[in-house]
Amino acid sequence: MWKKVSVKLTEEQQVKNRGRLLVNCPDQPGIVAAISKFLYEHGANIIESSQYTSDPEGGAFFIRIEFHCEGLLEKREQMEKDFEELAANFSMKHDFTYGSNRKRTAIFVSQEPHCLMELLWEWQNGDLETDIAVVISNHENSRQVVESFGIPFHYIPANKDIRKQVEEEQIRLMKEYNIDLLILARYMQILTPEFVSHFPNQIINIHHSFLPAFIGARPYERAYDRGVKLIGATSHYVTNDLDEGPIIEQDIDRVDHRDHVTDLKKIGRQIERRVLARAVKWHLEDRVIVHGNKTIVFQ
């Protein structure tokens, strides 16, 4: 007698056959139908789909599709080639990504380790789809904890007088470690336009205020002086305009007249940790589309 055997795919097999498609184009009828038909004809099963139209009359259309496709590793080159005709018909900007291509990240940190620790814990728990390849700091105090996770740590002293040499070394390390995403986890150095130009929409920063309030240095002190009742944090992509890049995520907590600067900083650290972790997670999962100086985030 034959027994029916149920074969469950391993997580590794599922990841290898998992793909994502991000699309941005002028809005018009038939986009979703055309993409769905394309994926069906290439043997793909849609697992998750989210879309947004900025304006039903002449606006921009955005969609994120996650799909499963048997033998995707062998099919993906032809799939991308075949998609070009459809993309041209709808004037699409598009990007295919694959579960088998795990993004590699570098974390930059200065003296305060709370955001770094949050990312390391999330990564250790398997909640960040990435390989943390290296941590770079202009201070030595995080070395021991970073190396305890088995992650290389590079100490590179930095100040405005040696900024060019520092950034040249940092760029070299990004190439050496084949980095896809740079995370500024309270890295308290201003990056030059030359450095930023090497990594467009690949640098995520955490700013310790609810932007656009209190751009720049000492936001908690300035918030206290202003007597605010809400404090927050903002995670954004880095551009050449200080703290004005496309915003990915923000959050706030309430404070009152009894909270002094030290209290605001303590509360703020909790906000910073969760805001940065969420922004990084969404980027790694290809849930963010940058459109001008804004983002569409498919949570």
- Which residues are annotated as catalytic? 243
Residue 143 tokens, joined? 């070395």
Helix (H) or strand (E) holding 38: helix 31-41
CB 40 within 8 A of CB 67: no
CB 83 within 8 A of CB 94: yes
Of 186, 216, 175, 200, residue with least CA distance to 276: 186
Residue whose structure tokens are 């088995």: 150
Residues 6 or more apart in contact with residue 38 via CB below 8 angstroms: 82, 83, 86
The CA distance from 286 to 299, in Å, is: 10
Characterise 71 by phi-psi region: left (phi > 0), alpha (psi -120 to 50), beta (else): left
Q: For the purposes of burial, counting CB atoms within 10 Å of the CB of 30, is it exposed (0-12), middle (13-18) or buried (19 or more)?
A: exposed
Non-local CB neighbours of 46 within 8 Å, separated by 6+ positions: 36, 39, 65, 66, 67
